Structure formats: structure tokens, C-alpha cells
Structure 1
């Protein structure tokens, strides 16, 4: 039997190709279906096959000892898919004028009884068939026929699942590629901006040293405005770099003295503090194995926020803890600051989301977004609890690793 090259056949083969099932390796789940089909129908042979414009391919075959599938012109299944809405049954091929001289009947595998159910897509295209074969005449009962139909439905369910998984993997790869490209672009852009901005800041310092005694109040105001703007730009660029590098700074693992790390970060953040120096309480912490760079960025961003969002006239106090669960370390940084409304506790981890204007509190809106990105790379979570005017606690978890 030759396959017709009509519009239906072109669309049918196209539909088959979308499932990418031809010439794939054997899979136990399909083999299980042919075993069940053979058992239900009491036949020695059961096959799941797919047919393109030139050949048929056996995805699973039970009871066949011969080599590759026969050419399409001898295929029983090619007849089965010609009527995709119904089963195809041959009770005794030796007495059938179409199949009596077929080499598959007169020789190996000596087909006498054949019953095939087309494997049909939701659009009505028959991709192949689930069939059972015997060496003697036969006929399926209504219960056997219905069971075989149910098994063919399962085959199509598996095909649809494969197709969706393939699309999901493809989307994930594209998303990862897009994300990597955006991260690389952001890192490059931020890096290229730092040099000219550094030149501007250096020029401003020289101008101040040389000419400050000649400036009037208006000149001083303009200079302060320009200086603050460049400082904010530098902060934004540094935060953008941290955010862009968030996916790449979690690969190197080493033993870390967390107490020492937190102390050094706190001293750095409070080195040029105006007014009363903040206090910090660090609970006793063990050595842990993780990415030092990632952990530094995490703690520095969180502690910086804790020090920044404070009430005037109140001495800042931080409380940092590390607790161990079954598989994770849980860090917490608690402050006595202005607090956050409950409805904003998730918003604060989104890029460029700020709850205050620059005049109130300086910042780029990328610090906690970078933290979230890094924590997720470390297979952990990050969240916050807060009470207005009493303070905020930021928690994050990272997976435990053996020292």
C-alpha cells in the first residue's frame, strides 16, 4: 500500500514530526502497554508503531523475532490509520483478498489475526497504531476492544506529555539564554559606565579643592547636587553589577567563619557612620561551607538596609542569628528600624521596587532583588517579617554542604 501524498497526508506527517517520536530509544512505559495489550487480548504479539510518508517505526514490539518493520506496502497498520476514527480488524488474513498473498502472512511473522486501533491526535491525525497479532484466526470481545482503546488513549497521553515536556525544556533553555544574555549585557553596561563616572567624580574633587573658596552659595548648591547625583549613579551601577552577577557568584565553595564575616561587614558599613555607632549582636555561629562571595553580597545588602531604614534619634541595633535545620542553614537579620507594611513584604524583593523616595532614603531598589536571585541559585528561600515602627527581620536559607 502506497501512502497518498494528499493534503491530509502532508498535515498528518507534519503532526507526527511535532511529537519527535520516530527512531527514539525504547521506553519501559510503552513496553508495559504492549505487554498489557497482549495479556488482555490473549495474543502473542503486540506493537505500538508510527508511520511517516515512507516507513513504519516500532516504538514497542512484543513477540516479534524478525528484524526491522516491513515496507509500507505490506503494512497492516498503514491500512489501520487510513480510517482514523475506527479500529481495523482482520479475523483471518489467509482468506482476505487484500492480505492473502502478503509476505507477512505467507512468511514470518505469519500474521493471521490482526486488530489495530489508530493513535489519533485531538486534531484527527492518525500517527500510527496500537495493534495485537495472532498466528491463528481470532476476534476480540467488546470488553477487549474497549480495553485496547483505553490503552491507545494512554499512548496518546504519553505522546502529548512528551511533546509538552520537550516544549517546556525548549522554553527553559531560551529563558536561561535570554537571562544570561541580559545579565551579561547589564554587567557590561555597568562596567563601561563606571570608568567615565569615576572620571567625573575625580574631576569634581579637583574642582572643589581648586575653586571652592571662589564659590558662592548658589555654586555650592549646584556642586552638592552634582556630587550627590554622581554618588547615586555610582551606587546604582554597583547594585546593577551585583544583580547582574547574581547568577554567577555562587559556584566557588569554601569554609567560612560566619562570625568573622558578619563582623567585618558590619565594621565596613559603619566605618564612616555619623552620630552614635550602631550596635550588633551576633549569635555564636559554626563554620559553614558555601560561596563566600555570595554570602558576603547577601549579608552586606541585608545589613545595609537594616542600618539605613532607621528612625531618627534611636540607636540602631542589629541582631544576627544562624540556625540549623535538617538540610538548610537559616540566617536572620533583625533591626529596630521603621518597619514595612505587611502588603509590601514580597514587593521589596522585586527589582527597582522602592517604598521610599531618594530624599527619604538613598538606594537603587536592586539590593534585595540581588539577594533573592543569589538565594535561589543556592537552592534556598528569602522572606521578611516586620512591624511598623518596631523593626524588620529578613530571613534567608542556603543548603548545607559538608565541610
Structure 2
């Protein structure tokens, strides 16, 4: 038996698995009903392997029922990014401890009905699935099964995130513009140019916020086309940091520049690098308390540059296991796009790598390594 960090790793003997699949052919009306519903339904055995799937699911994924004779679990069916983290497969990695699908199945196996949300990132494509999952115990013959349903709630999560962006982030930036516009009315001549400069920067940042949501929408659909230009990364990072010093999320914190190089000219997609660093900075500021320091840096390593943003807070282990999942956030409803988009844009479009560290000694630091 393979080792596991969470759910049991044992698999069904192939002959027994096939017998279970055939036995459900005689399950009567319940299978007929499940086959007619317009959402995905699976029946799982005690090893969490799929022994039956309704027509909605098989047609949706374009698979035949013989596919399940291999002993496939839900995360393996949907190509979860963590399905191979541990030799035991779906349900056995450390990340599976926070998986809504695995938790639902295990609770249903105790005889209780269960409902959860499951946030899953798919391998290779990095597509994100937001699912509402439910599990109900089901006995047939001498075997105990779980009826497992999956409903796509991605549209609902995207709507919540969009509302949050327009009602919170964009209003924050607009508030900064209004604040400086008010100061212009009473400013001395010596201060006027500085206030007008800040208004100009914040106005541009407001437009960037709106463009950023459009960019993420295209990126998730796979429709984004890279637009590479020459630009100075150091100048870009400093401009972004400066804009955050002027709005509520950053004005009560210390934003420290650790960059030791004057310029770093690269040829890449400026909008994507802007969005990645913006989300790194926003994530750090939201995690920090008033008066704390958020520090940013960029360094060169071989033919790549590494962005880093540090904050003094430490993420609990259960939070660390869910970072980079779409819609996961510790900050409330309609959040969770920040770290997800960092990984999506860096790894799928910029050809780089995103990761983080979090410990008591150094706090939390997010890194993005991007080819020059």
C-alpha cells in the first residue's frame, strides 16, 4: 500500500472493480434518474474510485465508461494539479487535506450527506474549476457507495470577483484621485505640480485596473495574445509601488524598495509583468497591518529576473496549501483572484515560475521568476 498524507491510498482489485461496475447495471430506477439529470454525477466505491458516471459527464468529457476500469478517482478524472503529488494518487497528498471534493466523499462514507465547494487547478493548462460538490451514501447489494455530484459555479465566482474589483479596488483608486483633486483646489503653486503628477499616476492606475480584469478574462479563456515590448522593469515596479503609497490599502504601511540596480531593460509583455507585480504587492499589503513594512525587490539570475514581495505575516499551514487556487481567499467573499492570477500569468504566458515561502523568521515572500 502506498503512503498517504490524508485519505487512504488503497485501490480496488481490478476484477472486483469491474464486478462493481457491472452490478450497478442492475441498480434500477436510481441509476436511470441519475442518468437523466443535467449535471455531472458519479458513483464511487469505498476506495473513492469511479464505478459509474452519468451521460451528462461522459458526454461533457468525451469519454467512454470503459475508461473507469483503470480505477480512476475524481481528481484524476479532472486532471487535478495535485493528483500526482503523492504515489497514492488523488486524495493522498498534503494539499488534499483542504480539498472540498475529498472532504465531501470521506464524510459521505461515514453515512452523512455532505456539501462543499471544490477549487481545482488542472495540470498543464492551469485551468481553474470552481465546483459545488455533494456526496450521499448509497448501498447496493453488499457494497457501500457514494453518489457524488459536481456543479460548475465558476460563473458565480467570477461575478462575485468582478463586483469586488469594481466596488472595492477601483473605488479605492478613484478615492485617491478625488483626494488629490481636492488638494489641488487649495494648493500653493509649489505643491501643484506634485499633486497633478499624483492624479496623473492614479488615473493611469485606474485604467490599468479595468484593463487588468479584461486581461485576466482573456487569459483564462486562452485568448490572450502576448504583446512584447522593451521596457525598464525597475521603473515599472517603482511606479506601481508609488501608486500604492497614495491609496488606503498602502498609505498606512511602509513600502520599502530593496532594489539595488538602477535599471533592468527586458523584452516581454509589459501588461502581464505589471499585473503580476501589482497582484504581488496588493496581496502583501492586504495581509499586513497598519505600520508594518512590505518590501519589494528584483534581481537577476542567469537569463531570468526574479520579482519578490515580502510581508511580515505568516500564513497558517491550511492557507499555504490553498494558495494559487482560484477563488480561495482568507479575506472574504468575491476574493481570491490575486495569487491565482500571479501563477496563471507567470507560468502559462510569461514562461516563468511562481512560488512562495512563509515562516516565522522571515514572514511571507512571493517570488516570480521570468525569462528576460
Give the TM-score normalised by structure 2. Answer: 0.40
Give the TM-score normalised by structure 1. Answer: 0.37
- The structure that has the greater radius of gyration is 1
